[in-house]
Chains A and B, each alone.
Chain A
């Protein structure tokens, strides 16, 4: 008996544009991510890895093929709904673009908290900040008053509010300095351990993938060209490459 995988996609196709100028961003991609793993999607820019992630997130619904999240089928053309929607969350590449520039951090965290039924909003905002290593006074600041690393921590705290089981990470550290990146990667590993989440991590950085991922798929020109287990990752991304 096998456990239900967190993500199972078969023959995923995503294309953009009208009928005359069609561009196929993802062609016949199939992936399987076991629960509790960190799965890497690797490839050069434009290879379709982010497109796959956005399809999983329900942000792009114009795809064909079959997709199951935690065993439940997801239909193309529909946003994620009900139970599945809160079980899947995403952390974006640019931490400035993913926070509202005119909302204070406390509001950015408080709004989703209220929607997910928190009673003591202020207390929970502080708790949400604490779990990503930020002090309560951050709640009173605007995103532009925070460093890149702090912003990304806020974005992670926000994504964790619905208590997701699957966290989609789109180049979560590529906009950050190396020393800040180390802190964020540590934080992600810690959170994963505490909460037993599944990660799908998109990156072009072999160092980040080598450090984080248990399994990976290599994409090129819209297709999955290789599947790597941990030994495969070690072999492919050993020192210096």
Chain B
């Protein structure tokens, strides 16, 4: 096989507007193999548009061009909608922003976890059940039999989150795209979800593209951090190297984080 994972070279995305084409993303190049890569930026940086492009979810009017835009050697640039549907879910999955509303309240957890398997061709009913139960246990729902038969409303918020993650990962996607996966959650729940995801990324050899505005949160889980600003990559660096970032923009983002250490001090603010 030629190459592994997501490879992007010179990705440019433009959108039509009243005053002509507007560039949203300019000449983006990065790759995601195994492990966690974080795409970090503030609102308007183009990070979400990039994430949606990886899943073929941008509006039709958006123009996507790139020198290379492929996953496991398969070109993603001119996929038909039908082909996209088979790529999404099996190869590349999207993590919903709000895990609590992502489950259908009128179906059992078991049915929702198995649905992905059914869509992707696991035909034997008992196989599906076994895989679903296995995945529920792996996300920490030890009483998997009972969870399998329950409805979302019968579970606590935390359990529903885990069930949602099980439903997403049961088809073993090779890349998971998580766009602000925890912005609807409070800090404690955020940590739980992200540690679960990073655990799976390690265990299943799955790539994880984490989209977030929260540099502090991301730095604790990602291996590499790509900082975006106004549609361009400002800097790509190892998460451990954030303290000595080269770009002044990254530095100011990093140092603008409030924390117990900055008590009583002014936070550095960027000049616009």
Contacts and interface: CB of A to CB of B under 8 A. Distances in A.
Interface in B247-272: 252-253, 256-263, 266-270
B266 A208 contact: no
A212 B257 CA distance: 12
A210 B187 contact: no
B239 to A, nearest CB: 12
B258 A238 contact: no
B193 to A, nearest CB: 13
Contacts of B263: 210-212, 230, 233-234
B220 A212 contact: no
Interface in A116-156: 148
Interface in A158-191: 177-183, 185-186, 189
Interface stretch (B67-75, B86-94, B120-128, B211-219): B211-219
Contact of B256 (A148, A179, A230): A179
Interface in A24-71: 43-45
Interface size of A as a range: 20 to 34
What is the predominant secondary structure among interface residues of chain B facing chain A?
Answer: loop
A179 B258 CA distance: 10
Contacts of B216: 178, 207
A204 interface: yes
Nearest to B265: A211
Contacts of A207: 216, 257-260
A234 B258 contact: no
Given A44-B189, A179-B252, A207-B216, A186 B269 contact: yes
A240 B186 contact: no
Contacts of B259: 206-207, 210-211, 237, 239
Given A44-B188, A206-B187, A240-B220, A182 B260 contact: no
Nearest to B187: A204
Contacts of B42: 177-180
A44 B156 CA distance: 14
B154 interface: no
Contacts of A205: 187, 258
Nearest to A205: B187
A114 B126 CA distance: 72
Contacts, number: 84
A47 B253 CA distance: 30
Interface size of B as a range: 20 to 34
Contacts of B189: 44-45
Given A178-B213, A206-B187, A186 B260 contact: no
Contact of A186 (B186, B215, B267): B267
A205 B213 CA distance: 14
A169 to B, nearest CB: 13
B142 interface: no
Given A45-B186, A179-B253, A204-B187, A210 B266 contact: no
A46 to B, nearest CB: 8
A113 B270 CA distance: 32
B257 A177 contact: no
A211 B265 CA distance: 8
A205 B257 CA distance: 11
Contacts of A179: 42, 252-253, 256, 269-270
A208 B256 CA distance: 11
16 contacts: A44-B188, A177-B42, A177-B43, A178-B256, A181-B258, A182-B257, A182-B258, A186-B269, A206-B187, A207-B259, A210-B260, A210-B263, A211-B267, A233-B263, A237-B259, A238-B261
Interface of B: 42-43, 185-189, 213-216, 220, 252-253, 256-263, 266-270
Interface of A: 43-45, 148, 177-183, 185-186, 189, 204-208, 210-212, 230, 233-234, 237-240
List the 10 closest A-B pairs by CB distance, nearest first. Answer: A210-B260, A211-B258, A182-B267, A182-B256, A177-B42, A204-B186, A44-B186, A237-B260, A45-B186, A207-B258
